[in-house]
Amino acid sequence: MSAEIKVPTLGESVTTATIAKWLKNPGDSVAADEPVVELETDKVSVEVAAPEAGVLGPQLVAEGAEVEVGTILASVEAGSGAPKGAAPAKAPAGVQAQPVAAGPVARPATPPSDVAAQGAAHAPMPSAQKIMAEKGISTAEIGTGTGKDGRVTKGDVLSFLAQPPVAKAPPAPATPRTDDPREERVKMTRLRRTIARRLKDAQNTAALLTTFNEVDMTAAKELRAEYRDIFEKKHGGTKLGFMSIFAKAVMAALKEFPAVNAEIDGDDIIYREFVNLGIAVGGPNGLVVPVIRDAEKLSFAGIESAIAGFGKRARDGSLKLDELSGGTFSITNGGIYGSLMSTPIINAPQSAILGMHAIQDRPIAVAGQVVIRPMMYIALTYDHRIVDGKEAVSFLVRVKQNVEDPRRLLLEV
């Protein structure tokens, strides 16, 4: 009995993946649920596990090939199987190995081998030997036969010839270099290519503008300092950060300015009474934006817990695909990397994104006096096709007011 290893459902709007790396080789013993192959999608890397314990069969798709959902990648033979280097199993009906190298894939012609050298135990039957000589097939290609003492029979040869050809993975090309030996050219990952394409598409499609403001973080810092320990103790170690304050401030402002949370769909505008809040986090393969669904229903602790979980899973590469789709508005915090000011790009098809930045002590005028306050620049990039300038500026001012006086969030004013 054998079990097929297929490309799983990859999540909303994701239909293809790239074979990033085979983690097991043909003939390797695998345990049930043990990762066998790593796929790279437009959003994250996904490990595909063996459905049951056994021995891994031939790899039907080579590293670097692009595959669709449902494609059969390999199979697992239950129990003990053939040793490494044995002949590849026949591909399932209707499935052909994915070619990687250019040109037709053909079974290599191998000169007939010296049967005596193979040893009597595996020597082909005379009828089998005749066909093998005509077709240029060696005993090593067929492997152990079904005849007595493992001898190759005529039926074994005919079965081998009936198999569809299996594409061989091309040798890994040497990393190309530039003319300068101190430079090295590295191929972009699929995730990085997708990020680049989507950001450029957003610039080409949307009418993007950015408006700026600055926030006095004094009240937020005092609130955090006063209640940080109590908050952490009450909520099982969840830390109180500035992100939850900004998230709450954003969601309150979105109620007043729903166009900022809306989306263009053809000639229609889709307005929403909920907020699926995307939070940009850095992972080993680039920036990803996991989504807190129905974020307006969560408490400060719920938001902080969700963000902490996203950050951890982004770092260890375990974010799920369904966590990265469906956002309606996003927040990105370049301040954690030291950014003082930037113009973020929207995460299409969303219509706006808020950029947070580093907190820096600066002199400002308060009641006619120059004082030093912890200040943060904030930026709102928005699609002018759906959000008017007045709405965008008013939205950002409301966010500023909510953060500078968090009591407004409690009173909903």
pLDDT digits (tens, 9 = 90+) for 332-370: 999 999 999 999 999 888 999 999 999 999 999 999 999
Q: pTM for the whole thing?
A: 0.63
Helix (H, G, I), strand (E, B) or coil at 193: helix
Catalytic sites, residue numbers: 384, 388
Domains in the chain, ordered, with CATH?
Answer: 2-77 (2.40.50.100), 208-411 (3.30.559.10)
Instruction: Tell me the C-alpha distance between 267 and 274, whole Å.
Output: 22
Q: Which residues of 376-394 are buried (b: 16+ CB within 10 A; e: fewer)?
A: bbbbbbbbeebbeeebbeb
Residue type, 283: G
Instruction: Tell me the C-alpha distance between 111 and 18, whole Å.
Output: 35
Instruction: Tell me the C-alpha distance between 272 and 150, whole Å.
Output: 68
All residue ranges of the chain with pLDDT < 50 are 81-121
Predicted confidence at residue 108, as pLDDT, reads 40
Predicted confidence at residue 167, as pLDDT, reads 52
Q: Which residues of 84-100 are buried (b: 16+ CB within 10 A; e: fewer)?
A: eebbbbebeeebebbbb
Given a contact cutoff of 8 angstroms between Cβ atoms, the answer to whether 332 and 296 are in contact is no
Predicted confidence at residue 308, as pLDDT, reads 94
Given a contact cutoff of 8 angstroms between Cβ atoms, the answer to whether 1 and 78 are in contact is yes
Predicted confidence at residue 166, as pLDDT, reads 56
Structure confidence by residue, pLDDT tens digits, 271-280: 999 999 999 9
DSSP secondary structure of 220-272: HHHHHHHHHHHHHHHTTTPPP-HHHHHHHHHHHHHHH-GGGG-EEETTEEE--
Given a contact cutoff of 8 angstroms between Cβ atoms, the answer to whether 2 and 57 are in contact is yes
User: For residue 123, what are the CA distances in angstroms to 87, 108, 271?
Assistant: 16, 21, 74
73 backbone dihedrals φ, ψ, rounded to 5°: -95, -35
- 209: CB partners within 8 A, 6+ apart: 381, 382, 384, 389, 392
Residue type, 302: G
Predicted confidence at residue 146, as pLDDT, reads 74
- Token pair, residue 287, equals 């920036």
